[in-house]
Chain A
């Protein structure tokens, strides 16, 4: 099948999911007016939020995979999301309450956390030539551990309310009422999506390796800085609102690669749509599995993503040995 055909199918599927998912779940036999409210003030904003979060995370994952030439490299496996989480929990713990030009303080601290981590990981990977992908991943794991313990530390020092706030948020959730969260995220995520779609040709070259990319005329270093900034902004904004929702960035681009190939001009829009609808589906599960209570969606994506990660790890081992 041609990439255009596959992309059309993914688009149709996403639209269907967007339209059907608000009607999934109980309305508790309530009056039409309340049903109306559930639909427009609770379900719809939540589904739209899920869509842009999923789309943003999937695209950032795709960019990391291209940038580090490794299907296992994502903002989450390399500790960038942990960095963002630490930034946001410090904000809560220190009792900050500020905003800059209408941007929430948590978003800013999460962005800084993400940017610092990604710069750190990258400079480590440049520190020695021949830094293997395995070492890179292990570095990410180590960085995540360090940040996790620092987050635990801030939690420990916080009072009970803040501590629970941090904990609940660390599980990753799309719970939202009204459109505030959505509107807060939308400018960042759509900015990043636009940049990444614009750079799809560059991402193709980048995934061919630095030497080939440079010899084809790509200013690799400059592109990396743009991508670091963009993905940090996107991950930071998402993490500050929804917490770390793991593994979307690894699973979705990988599945899309199998479906549509590695040309980022097709892969990027496919990952965007697929990521958005995939997170909507995960969130529907989160709402329904133990209804009327709900599970944080981060738990579901991680339960799906962990085994997927292992599968990729084992497969890359066997193909490397073959």
Chain B
């Protein structure tokens, strides 16, 4: 449904992304891995129309993404940004309802469809309990659920997530991971997630794209990454492997010592 062809982004003489090609199918769950500054966030922002690429094309259902208006794009793709410092002075329900913007023009009223989307979004993310609270008063985990809830309320077939579980405690990390999997499997939302959690990516996602210095280092089925010789190069980090005591899944652990050898 989404295909990226030879995408390059430069900013102030610095190459952020270079020659990225990608075919993304409906229902897929893609994790993007890479060291800090590898271009992961830039790729998401380019898909969302926040950053304009220098060369390359992106097609959504065979249609050039850059010919769509921002509103049309927002009906196809939604985005949960990295947890940032920007203070959001909104009540939770106000903020979630704002996500219906692409479906409105001028003074048009809140419709039944809007209400259904809103109720669905808060039911799936279980955010009903703090609808009337201020976003600033939420904990990190609650806040992330609200952000995902708002993206859901936008009712798009594709959801982009930028490090949705970073800065969360283990309990809330698992909670967010499970929520993303539910969205992908039960609600048939295609997911592209930027993450630093290697094992989470390998176990839950379907495909993995590893970026290094703006280029594609590795792309393939998620289960194949831990078998790949390129794993060490992603972060210039040595890994050792063990088995998850409960699930038996292969797990990579970073170990001391530099170098990209396994």
Q: Which of A205, A210, A217 has the most CB of B within 10 A?
A: A217
Q: Is A207 interfacial (CB-CB < 8 Å)? A: yes
- Contact string, A210-235, partner B, CB cutoff 8 A, digits 1/0? 11101111110000000000000000
- List CB contacts (< 8 Å) of A180-210 with chain B: 198, 201, 204-205, 207-210
Residue among B45, B74, B86, B95 making CB contact with A69, cutoff 8 Å: B86
Q: Is A104 interfacial (CB-CB < 8 Å)? A: no
Residues of B within 8 A of A25 (CB): none
Q: A211-B45, A263-B94 are in contact. Are A216 and B99 (CB under 8 A)?
A: yes
Residue among B89, B98, B106 making CB contact with A198, cutoff 8 Å: B106
Q: Is B206 interfacial (CB-CB < 8 Å)? A: no
Does A216 lie within 8 Å of B95, measured CB to CB? Answer: no
- Contact string, B198-217, partner A, CB cutoff 8 A, digits 1/0? 00000000000000000000
Q: A215-B79, A217-B70, A217-B75 are in contact. Are A201 and B88 (CB under 8 A)?
A: no
Residues of B within 8 A of A263 (CB): 90, 94
Does A215 lie within 8 Å of B104, measured CB to CB? Answer: no
Closest Cβ of chain B to A296, distance in Å, is 34
Does B90 lie within 8 Å of A219, measured CB to CB? Answer: no
Give bound CA distance, A214 to B84, whole Å.
16
Nearest B residue to A223, CB-CB: B70
- List CB contacts (< 8 Å) of B56-101 with chain A: 69-75, 77-79, 81, 84, 86, 88-91, 94-95, 98-99, 101
Nearest A residue to B100, CB-CB: A216
Q: Is B194 interfacial (CB-CB < 8 Å)? A: no
Q: Is A262 interfacial (CB-CB < 8 Å)? A: yes
- List CB contacts (< 8 Å) of A4-34 with chain B: none
Residues of B within 8 A of A178 (CB): none
- Contact string, A102-139, partner B, CB cutoff 8 A, digits 1/0? 00000000000000000000000000000000000000
Number of A-B contacts (CB under 8 A): 67
Closest Cβ of chain B to A64, distance in Å, is 16
How many positions in chain A have a CB within 8 Å of any CB in the partner chain? 21
Does A214 lie within 8 Å of B49, measured CB to CB? Answer: yes
Residues of B within 8 A of A262 (CB): 89-90, 94
Q: Is A261 interfacial (CB-CB < 8 Å)? A: yes
Residues of B within 8 A of A210 (CB): 50
Does B81 lie within 8 Å of A201, measured CB to CB? Answer: no
Q: Is B48 interfacial (CB-CB < 8 Å)? A: yes
Residue among B45, B71, B88 making CB contact with A217, cutoff 8 Å: B71
Nearest B residue to A207, CB-CB: B89
Q: A214-B48, A215-B48, A217-B75 are in contact. Are A209 and B86 (CB under 8 A)?
A: yes
Does B98 lie within 8 Å of A208, measured CB to CB? Answer: yes
Q: A69-B86, A208-B95, A215-B78 are in contact. Are A201 and B104 (CB under 8 A)?
A: yes
Q: A214-B70, A215-B74 are in contact. Are A208 and B90 (CB under 8 A)?
A: yes
Residues of A within 8 A of B77 (CB): 215
Nearest A residue to B69, CB-CB: A219
Does B50 lie within 8 Å of A215, measured CB to CB? Answer: yes
Nearest A residue to B151, CB-CB: A215
Q: Which of A209, A215, A262 has the most CB of B within 10 A?
A: A215
Residues of B within 8 A of A201 (CB): 98, 101, 104
- List CB contacts (< 8 Å) of A224-262 with chain B: 257, 261-262
Give bound CA distance, A217 to B89, whole Å.
20
- Contact string, B14-58, partner A, CB cutoff 8 A, digits 1/0? 000000000000000000000000000000010011100000000
Closest Cβ of chain A to B222, distance in Å, is 26
Q: Is B154 interfacial (CB-CB < 8 Å)? A: yes
Residues of B within 8 A of A219 (CB): 69-71
Q: Is B220 interfacial (CB-CB < 8 Å)? A: no
- Contact string, B143-184, partner A, CB cutoff 8 A, digits 1/0? 000000001001000000000000000000000000000000
Give bound CA distance, A69 to B101, whole Å.
20
Residues of A within 8 A of B48 (CB): 211, 214-215
Q: Is B259 interfacial (CB-CB < 8 Å)? A: no
Nearest A residue to B72, CB-CB: A217
Does B91 lie within 8 Å of A217, measured CB to CB? Answer: no
Does B101 lie within 8 Å of A205, measured CB to CB? Answer: yes
Give bound CA distance, A209 to B98, whole Å.
13
Nearest B residue to A215, CB-CB: B79
Q: List 16 A-B contacts (CB under 8 A).
A: A198-B106, A201-B98, A201-B101, A204-B94, A207-B89, A211-B81, A214-B48, A214-B50, A215-B81, A216-B99, A217-B74, A217-B75, A219-B69, A219-B71, A257-B89, A262-B89
B→A interface (CB under 8 Å) = 45, 48-50, 69-75, 77-79, 81, 84, 86, 88-91, 94-95, 98-99, 101-102, 104, 106-107, 151, 154
